[in-house]
Structure 1
Amino acid sequence: MTYKITSSAQVNALAALRIINKEAAETQQQVSSGYRVETAADDATYWSFASVLRSDSSSLQNIHDALGVGASKVDTAYTAMDSLIDQLGDIRATLVSAKEAGVDKEKLNTTLTELKNQMKTTVTTSNIAGENWLLNRDASMPTSRSVIGGFTRGTNGAFQPQLISYPSDQAVMIDTQDASRGLLTKSIDANTLNPDGSSTARDYYLLDAGSTTGASGSEIKLDANTTNDQISDMLSVVDSMLSSLTTTAAGLGTMSARISDRVDYTANLSDLIDKGVGALVDTDMDEASTRQKALETQQQMGVQAISILNTAASKVMILLQ
C-alpha cells in the first residue's frame, strides 16, 4: 500500500519559497541591469514618462551639437565683419590722404584697389558648414539666417524647434546677382548724407563684384582728376558703410552671446533630465543589494524548513510501514 502525506506546513513553505525566489530573481535583474523599471511591464506609467524624457534628452544633445555648428557660423561672420571694419577704416584713411595738396592720387588708388581686393577675399572666404552669411549668389536672398536654439512641446506633444535668427539683408556684404542687396556693392547717394541742394547725382559704391544687376553711380576710386568735393562724397559714403558694418557686427556679437547662453542651458537641462529619468527608473543599488542579501537568507531558511518537514514526513512513513 502507498501512502501520500501532504501537510499544510509543507505546502505553505513551498508557496513562500516560490514567492521568495521570484522576488530574488527580480532583484537580481534590477541589480544586473541597473533599472528598477526596465520595460512597460514593470511600470507602464513611469516607463512612459522616462521614454519621453529620454527623447527630450536626445533632442537636447542634438540641439547642443547644432548650436556648436551655429556658433561657428556666427563667429566666422563676426570675425570677417571685424576684419572688414578695419579694412574699410584703411580705405577711409586713404581717401583722407587724397585730399592733401600735391599727393599722387593714382598711387593712392593702387592702395585703394588692393584694400578693396582684400575685402572681396575676406567676404568670399568666410565659409563654414557650406554657408557664407556675407555673400549671396542666389537670385532670391533668404530672409534670415537661423541657428536652432531649443525646442518646445506642443499641446499634442509635437516637437517644435525654436530658432535664433538674424536678418540676411543686414549681413550680406556682396551680392553677385543684385548689387543693391549687398552693403559693399550697393549704390549710396552722398547727397542724402550731405544735402546741399544739388540736383547732381552723387551715387557711389565701393566694390564691383560683376553683379548681374550692377549698381548705379560711380565706383569709389581715385584718379588725377578726382576733386576734393568728390572725395568728400566718397568719405560720406564710406562713413555710412562703417556705421552699418558696426551695427551688423554688434548684432552678430549679440547673437553669439545668445548662442553661448543656449549652449550652457541645453547642457545643464540635459543633465537635469537624465537625473529625472534616473529617479523614475534607475535601481537604488544600496537598497537593492540589502534586499538581495535578505532574500538570499530567506531562501536558505525556506529550503531548510522544507528539508525539516520532509525529514519529519519520512519518519512518519517509516512508522506506517
Structure 2
Amino acid sequence: MSSILTNTSAMVALQTLNSTNKNLAMTTNEISTGKSVATARDNASIWAIAQTMQTDVDGFSGISDGLNTGSAAVAVARTAAETVTGLLGQVKEKIIAAQDPASDRAKLQTDIDQLVQQVGSVVDAAQFNGLNLVDGTNGSINVLASLNRDSSGNVTVANIQVSGQDLGSAAGTAPTGFFAVGNGTTSANGTSFGGIIDSGSGTNTLVLDSANFTAALGGEKISITIAGQTATYTVTANDMDTTNGSDPNTVIMSKVADKINSLGITGLVATMGTGAITLTNTGTIDFAFSGEITAPGAGGLSGLAGIDVNADAAGALAAIEPLIQTAIDASAAFGSAQARIDIQNEFVGKLTDSLKTGIGALVDADMEEASARLQALQVQQQLGIQSLSIANQAPQNVLSLFR
C-alpha cells in the first residue's frame, strides 16, 4: 500500500542517517581531541579512573620538584662536610709536623688557626635557601618523597628524613645539672642522659632545670633523640624572661615537648605534666631515647678551639682524630642521604611515566582505527543521504496513478 501521509522508507533512511551522523561526530571528536574518553559522558567509569590517576601524576610532579630541592640542599651540605674533612686533614698534617722538636711550632700554630677559621667560614656559608644542615641549627629535615594511595582511596605522603650534622667549631660550656630522667641514666654533670620508654603504654619522664644557666640570653641547644629521630630546640632570651611572670622551665619544656611530637613517631606522645615531660609509648617496641645540651655556639667540632701545638703537641694529635672522624661521618651521612633522594627521584620519574602510559591506554583514541572508521562513516553518510533522497521521491510515484 502506498501512502502520502506515512513514508516508512524515509523514516528508516532518516534514522540510519542520524545514527551515522552521530557516529561520525564522535569519530571526528576523537580525532580532534586524540581521546576516546574525553568527558565523563563518554564513559563515566573510565573517565573517573583516569582523572584520579591524573591527579596523582600532578602530585608526583610536585614531589619531583621537592626531591630536586632536597637533593640540592643535601649536596651543599655534603660538599661542605667534604671540604671540612679536607681542611681537618691539613690541620692534622700541621700537627704531625709539630711532633718534631725541631719544628717551628709557633708558625705551625698560626697555620692551624687559619685553617680552623676557614672551617668556620665553610660551615657558615653552607646554606641552601637559608637552610644550613651543617651548623647544628637543624636536627633533621623531611624531604617529601612519595604519594601513597591505598585500596580504599586514602592518600598519604612519605618523607625521607635527613639528619643535620653539627660541624660548628666554636667552643662553649654547657649548663650543668640540666637533665634528669625518671628511668635511665644521667651524666655526672647533668648535660646528657639516656633511657628506655617501654612499649605497651610504658612511660618515662624528663625533667629540665634551667636554674643552672649562666645567663638569660639563651642560645643553649637541646637535642632529644628518640627511636633514631632527633628533635632540636634552641633556647631563646624570651624563654628565660621572667618579667612577665612565666617560668623558664615550663616554657622550655613545652617547646621541647612540641618538638618531640613533631617528629611524628608512631605510638609516641609527649605531654606536659607538673614540672616534667611525660613520654608515653603505646607502640609494640621499646624506644631508646637520649639527649644532650650544648652551650651557645658550641659545635660538633668545638674541640678545634683547644688545639695548641705550642702547649701540647701530643695532645693536639690525639684531639684531631675524633674531629676528623666526625667530619667523615657527616660527609658519609649526607652522601647516603643524597644517593637515596636521587634514587627516589629517578623512581618517581619512571612511576610518573608509567601512570601516564596507563592513562593513555584508558582514554587515548586509536588513531589508525579512528581514521579507518572515519572513511567508512563518510561513505555511509553519503549512502544514507542517497537512500533518504530515494525514499523521499516515493510519494511522487503516486501521482502517476491519477494521470
State if a TM-score over 0.5 links the two structures. yes
- Residues 1:254 and 2:330 are matched in the alignment: no
Q: Relative to 1, partners in 2 of residues 1:69 and 1:265: Cα closer, same or farther, differing over 3 Å?
A: same
Q: Relative to 1, partners in 2 of residues 1:127 and 1:315: Cα closer, same or farther, differing over 3 Å?
A: same
Letter in 2 for 1:150: S
- Residues 1:292 and 2:374 are matched in the alignment: yes
CA deviation after TM superposition for structure 1 residue 154, in Å: 4.2
Q: Deviations over 1:66-124 (max 9, x none)?
A: 11111111111111111111100111111122221133322222101110111111111
Structure 1 match to 2:71: 71
Distance, in Å, in 1 between the alignment partners of 2:383 and 2:394 is 17
The one of 239, 257, 260 equivalent to 2:321 is: 239
Q: Relative to 1, partners in 2 of residues 1:178 and 1:30: Cα closer, same or farther, differing over 3 Å?
A: farther
Q: Note if contact 1:136-1:177 (Cα within 8 Å) is conserved in structure 2.
A: no
- Residues 1:39 and 2:39 are matched in the alignment: yes
More helix per residue: 1
Letter in 2 for 1:263: N
Q: Relative to 1, partners in 2 of residues 1:25 and 1:213: Cα closer, same or farther, differing over 3 Å?
A: closer
RMSD over aligned Cα atoms: 2.4
Structure 2 match to 1:159: 155
Match runs of 1:200-279 below 5 Å? 212=296, 219-222=305-308, 224=310, 226=311, 230-279=312-361
Aligned with 1:134: secondary structure? coil
- Residues 1:172 and 2:154 are matched in the alignment: no
The one of 297, 303, 307 equivalent to 2:385 is: 303
Q: Note if contact 2:144-2:160 (Cα within 8 Å) is conserved in structure 1.
A: yes
Structure 2 match to 1:49: 49
Q: Note if contact 2:149-2:156 (Cα within 8 Å) is conserved in structure 1.
A: yes
Distance, in Å, in 1 between the alignment partners of 2:391 and 2:350 is 60
CA deviation after TM superposition for structure 1 residue 279, in Å: 0.6
Distance, in Å, in 1 between the alignment partners of 2:114 and 2:170 is 20
Q: Note if contact 2:4-2:395 (Cα within 8 Å) is conserved in structure 1.
A: no
Distance, in Å, in 1 between the alignment partners of 2:147 and 2:318 is 45
Distance, in Å, in 2 between the alignment partners of 1:81 and 1:312 is 94
Distance, in Å, in 2 between the alignment partners of 1:26 and 1:307 is 25
Letter in 1 for 2:155: F
More strand per residue: 2
- Residues 1:145 and 2:141 are matched in the alignment: yes
Match runs of 1:101-120 below 5 Å? 101-120=101-120
Aligned with 2:334: secondary structure? helix
Q: Relative to 1, partners in 2 of residues 1:262 and 1:94: Cα closer, same or farther, differing over 3 Å?
A: same
Instruction: Return 5+ residue gaps in structure 2 as ranges.
Output: 175-294
Q: Note if contact 1:136-1:176 (Cα within 8 Å) is conserved in structure 2.
A: no
Deviates more, 1:51-60 or 1:249-258: 249-258
Distance, in Å, in 2 between the alignment partners of 1:153 and 1:129 is 31
Q: TM-score, normalised by structure 1?
A: 0.80
Letter in 2 for 1:81: A
Aligned with 1:39: secondary structure? coil
Q: Deviations over 1:39-90 (max 9, x none)?
A: 1111111011101110111111111121111111111111111111110011
Letter in 2 for 1:212: P
Distance, in Å, in 1 between the alignment partners of 2:76 and 2:115 is 20
Q: Deviations over 1:190-224 (max 9, x none)?
A: xxxxxxxxxxxxxxxxxxxxx63658989324375
Q: Note if contact 1:68-1:263 (Cα within 8 Å) is conserved in structure 2.
A: yes
Distance, in Å, in 2 between the alignment partners of 1:104 and 1:63 is 56
CA deviation after TM superposition for structure 1 residue 276, in Å: 0.3
Distance, in Å, in 2 between the alignment partners of 1:143 and 1:77 is 13
Structure 2 match to 1:82: 82
Aligned length: 279
CA deviation after TM superposition for structure 1 residue 316, in Å: 1.7
Q: Note if contact 1:179-1:213 (Cα within 8 Å) is conserved in structure 2.
A: no
Deviates more, 1:296-305 or 1:233-242: 233-242
Letter in 1 for 2:390: I
Q: Note if contact 2:169-2:303 (Cα within 8 Å) is conserved in structure 1.
A: no
CA deviation after TM superposition for structure 1 residue 9, in Å: 1.3
Q: Deviations over 1:135-179 (max 9, x none)?
A: 245xxxx441222221212454233221111223xx121287977
Q: TM-score, normalised by structure 2?
A: 0.64
Structure 2 match to 1:202: none
Letter in 1 for 2:321: D
Structure having the higher Rg:
1
Distance, in Å, in 1 between the alignment partners of 2:112 and 2:171 is 24
Letter in 1 for 2:26: E
Distance, in Å, in 2 between the alignment partners of 1:155 and 1:175 is 51
